[in-house]
Amino acid sequence: MIQAPGEPLLDPESTLVDDRDDNWGETTTVVTGTSVDSISNEDLTRISKDLEDSLPLDCRRYISPVLGAILGLISVITPLAFLALPQLLWRDTLDPCGTPCEGLYISLAFKLLILLISTWALFLRPSRATLPRFFVFRCLLLALVFLFVASYWLFYGVRVLEPQETDYRGIVGYAASLVDALLFIQYLALVLLEVRHLQPAFCLKVVRTADGVSRFYNVGHLSIQRAGVWVLDQYYRDFPVYNPALINLPKSILTKKMSSFKVYNLEEENTNNSTGQSRAMIAAAARRRDNSHNEYYYEEAEVERRIRKRRARLVVAVEEAFTHIKRHQDEETATSSPKHPRELMDPREAAQAIFAPMARAMQKYLRATRQQSYHTMESIINYLQFCITHNMTPKAFLERYLSPGPTLQYLDNNRGRRWTLVSEEPVTTALRQGQVFSLKRLDFALVVKVMPLPFLDLAEEFIDPKSHKFVMKLQSETSV
Amino acid sequence: MSFVPGQPVTAVVQRIEIQKLRQGENLILGFSIGGGIDQDPGQNPFSEDKSDKGIYVTRITPEGPAEVAGLRMGDKIMQVNGWDMTMVTHDQARKKLTNKREDVVRLLITRRSLEEAVKQSKGSHPRQ
């Protein structure tokens, strides 16, 4: 389903506040156009204002892996081709090549095997993000591989195929050197793509614009786009879910300030006095005795008290509900009296059975903490079933509801997440001190500020273990 | 009463002679001492300079030989029978004072009021 740009999305991360009815109002979700994590190219072109004619989203996602796979296949087949072609084409005129060649065959075989295994381990993974610009290092490596293989083929074609070279041992050595070169390129790829950014060099401060939640992360040398992907990975795990219902100040307190003095303009010209008029109003409003902080304080205390009361009721209800149920032990069937045959329930039925007494308390608590949109009745029963199956205590069951969990807990994973990277510099530049970029979603953004980690000058001081001696602080008094 | 390391210590001292009193088989003087180079000088309530590790008189038995001889609480003992008391350990000081073979001890003590008295007398006799 193609998502037209500009249409608002409704998903668990950005529900608008509504008054829910008493019957577990459900969120409406809309399937977005992308199916894995991606940063839509269309959003970026809207922002950067150059409309390039881009391929549809699906094709663009697959170009890079397909290209890489083709190049990889060619480069693995090339040494084998180098070995096979002379044998096929001019077998009779080849110099016989005994033990040295066989040694080279063995080493070639093992190196190719290692190359294949490490390629599988390192590169054959589903990509988790689509970046707005080219991933510079990956393009560099693909170009390097292409260059290597092409130049080897060129040399081979000119020096071996044309004159039908007879020195087979030299050809085998040539093929082995290609495999060595490929292994070294893979080492380079490992260092550039996986290892270089492991040593921490910068500290990123990530602040969510909607409610001010912030975290600090240490990263190594990355480009802005890669840093953005990394920050988003951490965001889903560390940041509590954004609840737009928890706004700081209720409007009722703020709007009281709006009533102020009326200023009548008695002079003819209006243009010059407009700023003067507003300034006069602001000054008058500031001079007035302002009691809105008082109301805010009392209202906040009241809300907190209410939440605590409902939480207490919820905890008691859940504890009581859990006492109604017990895990069935197989040995009991022999000893329990046949007077009360207890019917055996599976976890789902057990969950439904004990959900009833706690439903009302749970509902009231969720409404007090404005979380009711994140937990449907179905999801609560599912979680209850999960907890019962794994022998969790009531406290473990409640942990999910008493504190807002990380955003990842509330996502269903078969939908992609669309984020927009906003930056004043090209997104392939490396991180530098003082850079600021932001990752936007529809109703909030994450602002990321880059700070360098300080240079550490570590000095040493040796302490002899025998130097730990102590004396008593005495003040004795002796009578003489 | 503070001293400069390496320089001789100067102080205005008073000579006090105490006759030991025999109680049973002990000879007592009737006061208690505190201080010493192995003690913590910061806890001394009588010293001006809290790094002074000298021997101070911390308690006087009323009507004892020391009070009769003129010793007062807070005095710093500089010498006992010729033995220096400014750089001794607490135990050495105790031993010098409780020597069983002597029944009189001659102390040189110093106190703040002595210094002030000398200053005042110097001031009233400008030719001194």
The residues pairing with A452 across neighbouring beta strands, listed in sequence order, are A202
Q: Using N-to-C axis directions, what is the helix angle for A394-402 and A347-368, rounded to 10°?
A: 40
Torsion of CA B64, B70, B74, B77, to 10 degrees: -100
Q: Which of B29, B40, B43 sits opposite A480 (nearest CB)?
A: B29
Contact A473 B28 (CB under 8 A): no
CB-nearest to A478 from B44, B61, B90 is: B90
In our burial notation (b when 16+ CB lie closer than 10 A, e otherwise), range A15-49 reads beeeebeeebeeeeeeebbbeebbbbbbbbbeeee
Distance from CA of B79 to the nearest CA of A (A): 15
Residue of A nearest to B20 (CA): A480
Q: Mutating which of B38, B100, B103 best tests the A interface, going by the most A Cβ atoms within 10 A?
A: B38
User: Which residue's entry shows tokens 């009779």?
Assistant: A92
CA-based nearest distance B5→chain A, Å: 23
Calpha distance B57→A474 (Å, rounded):
16
Query: What is the pLDDT tens value at each position of chain A, 480 positions in all?
Result: 444 444 444 444 444 444 444 444 344 444 444 444 444 444 444 443 333 333 345 666 777 788 888 888 998 899 999 888 888 888 788 787 888 888 999 999 999 999 999 888 888 777 778 888 888 888 898 899 999 999 999 999 998 888 888 888 888 989 999 999 999 999 999 998 889 989 999 999 999 998 889 999 999 999 999 999 999 999 999 998 888 777 655 555 555 554 555 556 566 555 555 566 677 777 766 666 667 788 888 988 998 999 999 999 999 999 999 988 888 776 655 454 454 556 788 889 889 989 988 999 999 999 888 888 888 899 999 999 999 999 999 999 999 998 888 888 887 666 677 899 999 999 889 999 999 999 998 888 999 999 999 999 999 999 999 999 987 777 788 888
> What is the tally of helices (H) and strands (E) in chain A?
13, 6
Structure tokens, B38: 């192995």
Q: How far is A470 from chain B (nearest CA, A)?
A: 13
Task: Considering only CA atoms, give the Rg of chain A.
Answer: 35
DSSP A278-341: HHHHHHHHHHS---HHHHHHHHHHHHHHHHHHHHHHHHHHHHHHHTT--PPPTTHHHHS-TTSP
Enumerate the residues of chain B whose CB falls inside 8 A of the CB of residue A476: 34, 39, 90
**CB-CB contact of A221 with A196 (8 Å):** yes
| Angstroms from A471 CA to nearest CA on chain B | 10
Q: How many CB atoms lie within 10 A of CB A183?
A: 15
Q: Say what the pTM is.
A: 0.64
Tokens of A206: 């990530």
Of A473, A474, A478, the CB nearest to B33: A478
Give the number of beta-carbon pairs within 8 Å between A and B.
39
| C-alpha–C-alpha distance, residues A213 and A210, integer Å | 8
